[in-house]
């Protein structure tokens, strides 16, 4: 017996036992986020969405990443956590960050007039004062939308077309959502930086953050992992494939299409989370200061004063800011000061700086009940995440 007590096992065997015991312990540990995909699965089962990807992260790591349903109903392709989505207006805060990087570089100011960079905006019809970059970032410029007549317009041509339209109201007097205004900022970035907008964003934001799957023009390989867009057919009650209108009839791989900062990006849940993790960490990623803390604070504070935007959500610079979470069902688990943005086909991205949590919810469904920000699917996701985060 005494000999057995002093028996020494080989190191390799001890290491193997340690791994096996650790794996068994992990397998036995309950997944506190198991309720998140379970909460969204019924919407797949009822045919309201084809599939979804759900992510929760803190400033350092991904806490949960899961997928349910299918990314393409015709082929039966299963939804994967790394699938690519058209993130639509979730592009807007990313574009705004490109502008902010140039503010940090002292190449422009948020209060610069647009005409300083785009002379065609001088004397635009209906303007009582020059439109500023801040006006564009807060949707208070008075700019409307424009009718695209050529899917291969450059950003310069689009800006020129927009500048020929009369304003809907005097700058700063009202709030009215304008995707075209954010598209215009892409052209401002080109002029101020001296680089094509997409190249600037790649070098200054996507590469430093490791956003390797974020692009205006998915490759043929990335296209294989694209979540198909659907709309519910009112007559049949079933999902049918729909086009992304923002492509203006072109292919998603068409690099001759302009890089539209208002709604032109494709990305994955993990890439979007990297962007918001950088913001949660005060503008730091990979040990480097990407965005100055003061600039970030300016972007994520209320900028629209008493002008009414969305329920409980005024605007920062490119970001929605949750001022009163009780005003929208899907926001009720957020802390005041949470910031982020949604997309037309139901994608959602938010950062709660009080709790230090990033939320990313990805679906591709047009004409969602209520609105994309307050969809039943997003409400179910948010409720389930809140239950998982409770101590």
Looking at the domain assignment, is residue 182 inside a domain?
A: no
Q: What is the pLDDT of residue 6?
A: 43
HEC string of the chain? Answer: CHHHHCCCCCHHHHHHHHHHHHHHHHHHCCCCCCHHHHHHHHHHHCCCCCEEEEEEECCCCEEEEEEEEEEECCCCEECCCCCEEECHHHHHHHHHHHHHHHHHCCCCCCCCEHHHCCHHHCCCCCCCCCCEHHHHHHCCCCCCCCCCCCCCCCHHHHHHHHHCCCCCCCCCCCCCCCHHHHHHHHHHHHHHHCCCHHHHHHHHHHHHHCCCCCECCCCHHHHCCECCCEEECCCCCCEEECCCHHHCCCCCCCCCCCCCCCCCCEECHHHHHHHHHHHHCCCEECCEECCCHHHHHHHCCCCCCCCCCECCECECCCCEECCCHHHCHHHCCCCCCCEEEECCCCCEEEEECCCCEEEEEECCEECCCCCHHHCHHHHHHHHHHHHHHCC
Predicted confidence (pLDDT) at residue 147 exceeds the cutoff of 90: no
350: β partners: 340, 359
Listed range (23-32, 79-88, 230-239, 304-313) with the worst mean pLDDT: 23-32
If pLDDT is split at 50, 70 and 90, which confidence band does 17 have? low
Q: pLDDT value at position 9?
A: 56
Q: What is the mean pLDDT of residues 29-33?
A: 84
On whether residue 107 sits in a domain, the answer given is no
Q: What would the mean pLDDT of 325-345 be, rounded to a whole number?
A: 98
Provide the pLDDT for residue 2: 40
What's residue 30's pLDDT?
75
Mean of pLDDT values over 142-155: 91
pLDDT greater than 90 at residue 163: yes
Looking at residues 346-356, what average pLDDT do you find? 98
The whole domain housing 310 covers 35-83+214-229+267-389
**CATH no. for residue 382?**
3.40.710.10
- Angle at which helix 35-45 crosses helix 376-389, to 10 degrees, equals 160
Q: Does the residue 253 lie in any domain? A: no
Q: What percent of the chain has pLDDT over 90?
A: 88
Strand partners, 311: none
In whole angstroms, give the CA distance from residue 36 to residue 298.
Answer: 33
Of 336, 358, 365, 352, the closest CA to residue 273 belongs to: 358
Whether the Cβ atoms of residue 309 and residue 175 lie closer than 8 Å to each other: yes
Q: What's the rounded mean pLDDT across residues 350-356?
A: 98
d(CA 313, CA 377) in angstroms, rounded, equals: 20
Mean pLDDT of the chain: 93
- For 187-228, how does the pLDDT look when each residue is reduced to its tens digit (9 = 90+)? 999 999 999 999 999 999 999 999 999 999 999 999 999 999
Residue 193 lies in a domain: no
pLDDT of residue 148: 86
pLDDT digits (tens, 9 = 90+) for 306-324: 999 999 999 999 999 999 9
pLDDT of residue 18: 52
Q: Please give the pLDDT value at position 249.
A: 87
Q: What pLDDT score does 19 carry?
A: 45
Is residue 68 included in any domain, yes or no? yes
- pLDDT of the residue at 349: 98
Residue 15 has pLDDT above 70, yes or no: no
Instruction: Give me the pLDDT at residue 280, please.
Output: 98
Assess if residue 280 is contained within a domain. Answer: yes
Q: Which of 61, 101, 54 minimizes the C-alpha distance to 356?
A: 61
pLDDT at 391 over 90: no
pLDDT band at 232 (very low <50, low <70, confident <90, very high): very high
Confidence of residue 165 (pLDDT cuts 50, 70, 90): very high
Count of structural domains, the chain: 1
Angle between helices 155-163 and 179-193 (to 10 degrees): 120
- Of 48-52, 268-272, 323-327, 371-375, the poorest mean pLDDT is in 371-375
Asked if residue 102 is part of any domain, the answer here is: no
CA dist 126 and 66 (Å) reads 49
Question: Is 274 inside any structural domain?
Answer: yes
Q: Please give the pLDDT value at position 370.
A: 79
Better pLDDT: 378 or 150: 378
User: What is the predicted pLDDT for the residue at 23?
Assistant: 46
Q: Which of 198, 113, 120, 190 is nearest to 159 (CA)?
A: 120
């Amino acid at each position: 017996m005494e000999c057995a007590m002093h028996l020494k096992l080989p190191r390799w065997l001890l290491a193997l036992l340690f791994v096996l015991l650790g794996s068994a312990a992990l397998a036995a540990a309950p997944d506190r986020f198991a309720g998140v995909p379970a909460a969204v699965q019924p919407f797949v089962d009822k045919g309201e969405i084809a599939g979804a990807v759900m992510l929760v992260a803190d400033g350092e790591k991904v806490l949960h990443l899961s997928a349910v349903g299918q990314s393409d109903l015709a082929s039966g392709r299963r939804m994967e956590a790394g699938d690519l989505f058209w993130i639509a207006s979730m592009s807007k805060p990313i574009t705004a960050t490109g502008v902010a990087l140039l503010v940090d570089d002292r190449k422009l100011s948020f209060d610069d007039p647009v005409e300083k960079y785009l002379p065609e905006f001088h004397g635009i019809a209906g303007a009582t004062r020059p439109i500023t970059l801040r006006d564009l970032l807060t949707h208070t410029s008075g700019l409307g939308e424009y009718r695209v007549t050529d899917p291969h317009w450059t950003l310069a041509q689009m800006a020129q077309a927009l500048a020929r339209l009369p304003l809907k109201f005097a700058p700063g007097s009202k709030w009215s959502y304008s995707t075209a205004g954010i598209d215009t900022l892409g052209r401002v970035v080109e002029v101020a930086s001296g680089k094509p907008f997409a190249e600037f964003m790649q070098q200054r934001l996507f590469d430093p953050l490791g956003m390797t799957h974020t692009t205006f023009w998915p490759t043929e390989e990335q296209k294989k992992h694209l979540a198909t867009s659907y709309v519910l057919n009112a007559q049949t009650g079933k999902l049918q494939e729909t086009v992304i209108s923002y492509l203006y009839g072109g292919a998603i791989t068409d690099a001759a299409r302009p890089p539209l900062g208002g709604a032109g990006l494709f990305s994955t849940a993990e890439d979007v989370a990297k962007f918001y993790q950088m913001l949660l960490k005060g503008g730091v990623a990979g040990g480097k200061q990407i965005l100055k803390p003061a600039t970030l604070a300016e972007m994520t504070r209320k900028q629209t004063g008493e002008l009414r935007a969305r329920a409980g959500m005024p605007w920062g610079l490119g970001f929605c800011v949750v001022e009163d979470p009780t005003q929208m069902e899907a926001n009720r688990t957020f802390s005041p000061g949470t910031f982020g943005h949604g997309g037309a086909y139901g994608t959602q991205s938010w950062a709660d700086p009080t709790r230090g949590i990033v939320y990313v919810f990805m679906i591709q469904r047009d004409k969602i009940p209520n609105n994309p920000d307050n969809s039943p699917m997003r409400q179910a996701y948010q409720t389930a995440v809140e239950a998982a985060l409770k101590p």
